[in-house]
């Protein structure tokens, strides 16, 4: 698309301000000299599905936040590069199935490291999802919040198990409430 540079400027502005500027400022943001040029740009970006007009204002669509998915990349031996056109995907589309029942939680500690959940990771928690033994859950055990694997012993009693041998199982004495099932994990490698 010929408007990629303008779209990039709009995405950068949105990331910094979580909104779009007024029309007169929009000229400056995208590097165009006239409001008619900006109107035409907004029209083209709307036609391509990146923007929409909501109550007389310009608003981003899901596609605005999508990124190209360039195919798979091997973590072992290198492979030939995929030359097919990329599809686009938002992280929300990939990580979250039920947006109205999902919340994000930042993990603190290393008790789930062997399950690939590290200190500082974000977990997406699906609320009101059926939880069973083997599911990683966020739970309140005797009034304390934690993320662990839900287990059931031979007597049928539920308990919570860490994914790190340095931590003992948590066997609630009063109550165990499952807040939801962890459906995905997000991690930043570089800050």
The residues that are catalytic are: 111, 148
Q: Are strands 136-141 and 87-89 parallel, antiparallel or unpaired?
A: unpaired
29 CB neighbour count, 10 Å cutoff: 17
**What is the spatial distance between Cα 177 and Cα 61, in angstroms, rounded to a whole number?**
37
Distance set, CA 175 to CA 105, 111, 142 (Å): 22, 21, 5
Token pair belonging to 25: 């400022």
**What is the spatial distance between Cα 17 and Cα 90, in angstroms, rounded to a whole number?**
19
């Amino acid at each position: 698309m010929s408007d990629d540079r303008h779209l990039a400027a709009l995405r950068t502005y949105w990331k910094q301000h979580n909104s779009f500027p007024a029309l007169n400022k929009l000229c400056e943001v995208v590097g165009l000299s006239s409001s008619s040029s900006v109107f035409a740009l907004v029209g083209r970006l709307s036609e391509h599905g990146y923007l929409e007009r909501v109550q007389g204002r310009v608003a981003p669509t899901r596609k605005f936040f999508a990124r190209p998915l360039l195919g798979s990349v091997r973590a072992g031996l290198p492979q030939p590069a995929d030359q097919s056109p990329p599809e686009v995907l938002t992280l929300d589309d990939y990580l979250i199935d039920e947006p109205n029942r999902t919340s994000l939680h930042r993990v603190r500690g290393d008790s789930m490291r062997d399950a690939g959940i590290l200190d500082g990771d974000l977990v997406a928690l699906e609320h009101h999802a059926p939880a069973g033994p083997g599911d990683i859950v966020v739970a309140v055990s005797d009034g304390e919040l934690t993320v662990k694997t839900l287990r059931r012993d031979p007597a049928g009693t539920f308990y919570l198990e860490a994914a790190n041998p340095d931590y003992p199982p948590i066997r609630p004495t009063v109550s165990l409430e499952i807040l939801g099932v962890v459906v995905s994990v997000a991690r930043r490698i570089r800050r």
